[in-house]
Amino acid sequence: AGEWLVSGLGADGATSPSAATMTNSDAKLALPSPFSSPAASGPAPGGLQPEEGGPSAVRSCGGVGVTLENSNVWKEFHRCGTEMILTKQGRRMFPYCRYHVTGLEPTRRYALVLSITPIDTYRHRWNLEWEPSGPGEPHTQASSRVFPHQDSSALGKVWMASLVSFYKLKLTNHCLDQEGLVMLHSMHRYRPSLHVIPIAEGEDLGFDPKLLYLQLFSPKVMTFTFPQTEFYAVTSYQNTMITQLKIDYNPFAKGFREDSGSRRLTKPRPEQSQAGKEDTRSPGLSSARPDGREGTEQIVTVSGVLLTSATESIITQSSRTAGALVHASVLLASKSA
């Protein structure tokens, strides 16, 4: 599948001068195939291990480029060891996976699929830091961890025209095989991957995860993995820093913020969770949105062209009311200043 080009992206979104090119064999270490066995290397206690030099927000393969859109939020969660809640009826991910795709053939059809792969074979426990606590559960059928994007399949120009969001994906610990639910084991470690599947003319893959899963074995499929999106599946939060980050960034949890005037009690606010908070949120005008948007983020493609991809989407989503338009305008002005 050619070479994987990994460009460094600093915390401020600027390119790192230390961009590196990885060969296929190198890439297998950092960008495992969804079908490979869990990593041979041992579990990483004390939170998820970032790539050397920090996780990048950009991946490219065979001319196709993928940018993890809300990378700054992911990175902040990643530093604490991201946790995702599992519930019987399914819980949405937060942050969720949102990508900007470039380099597709405009008139060719593609299916975009998200898979969630176990990283290791251990069960973990939280003891002020994440540590392995024994052998893990046998992993469920891989096809139950595949989530096709609701717009699949669509033309390349359609995928490239807007952000590809998997906000509808829900995580569960019940094996009911319900549509839209991805079945995971609690206290296990997972990593999402985006798969771009080119569709041959006249071919119809439908929306069946099992059928799409089989397609992932095709050599023409391109897989993009971002280490900063790794997470621990849990049924209740273990690390209070993660709880606080979720409350800070997820608008649906606004009622738990200290400044919301809520009478509800919240857990003591860990001081560490405040670090870097001002970079992404403004007092009185949070740039975090229910779908995880944090405003325009500079994206660097493989050709070095700067993009401001979230902008259009924000305006579209915010055009419901004049107030929301002002919100979008302020975002644009502040980011372009």
Q: Please, what is the minimum distance in Å from the beta carbon of residue 106 to DNA?
A: 27
Query: CA-CA distance, 292 to 170, in Å (whole number)?
Result: 15
Q: Please, what is the minimum distance in Å from the beta carbon of residue 250 to DNA?
A: 5
Q: Please, what is the minimum distance in Å from the beta carbon of residue 23 to DNA?
A: 38
Burial letters for 142-173: b for 16+ Cβ neighbours within 10 Å, e otherwise?
Answer: bbbbbbbbeebbbbbeebbeebbbbbebbbbb
The single residue listed with the structure tokens 């949105």 is: 289
Q: Which residue, 261 or 284, is less far from DNA as judged by CB?
A: 261
Q: Please, what is the minimum distance in Å from the beta carbon of residue 95 to DNA?
A: 9
The single residue listed with the structure tokens 């052998």 is: 135
Residue 235 to residues 80, 178, 232, 321, Cα–Cα distance (Å): 17, 19, 10, 37
Identify the three-state secondary structure at position 167. Answer: coil
Q: Please, what is the minimum distance in Å from the beta carbon of residue 244 to DNA?
A: 8
Q: Which residue, 135 or 264, is less far from DNA as judged by CB?
A: 264
Q: Please, what is the minimum distance in Å from the beta carbon of residue 224 to DNA?
A: 23
Residues that bind DNA (CB under 7 A): 85-88, 91-92, 94, 125-126, 133, 173-174, 186-187, 234-238, 243, 246-247, 250-256, 260-267, 289-291, 317, 320-323
Q: Which residue, 47 or 54, is less far from DNA as judged by CB?
A: 47
**Range list of β-strands (E), the chain:** 4-6, 20-22, 58-61, 64-68, 83-85, 91-92, 98-102, 109-118, 122-126, 130-135, 146-148, 154-155, 164-165, 170-172, 181-183, 188-199, 222-225, 231-234, 298-300, 306-308
Q: Please, what is the minimum distance in Å from the beta carbon of residue 77 to DNA?
A: 11
Q: In 3D, which of 276, 267, 174, 230 has the Cα closest to residue 48?
A: 230
Burial letters for 17-28: b for 16+ Cβ neighbours within 10 Å, e otherwise?
Answer: eebeeeeeeebe
Query: CA-CA distance, 6 to 9, in Å (whole number)?
Result: 9
Query: CA-CA distance, 119 to 17, in Å (whole number)?
Result: 30
Q: Which residue, 75 or 289, is less far from DNA as judged by CB?
A: 289
Q: Which residue, 264 or 303, is less far from DNA as judged by CB?
A: 264
CA 146-150-153 angle, to 5 degrees, is: 90
Q: Which residue, 99 or 232, is less far from DNA as judged by CB?
A: 232
Q: Which residue, 73 or 300, is less far from DNA as judged by CB?
A: 73
Q: Which residue, 59 or 75, is less far from DNA as judged by CB?
A: 75
Q: Please, what is the minimum distance in Å from the beta carbon of residue 147 to DNA?
A: 14
Q: Please, what is the minimum distance in Å from the beta carbon of residue 283 to DNA?
A: 15
Query: CA-CA distance, 256 to 261, in Å (whole number)?
Result: 9
Question: Distance from CA of residue 337 to its chain's centroid?
Answer: 28
Q: Which residue, 137 or 203, is less far from DNA as judged by CB?
A: 137
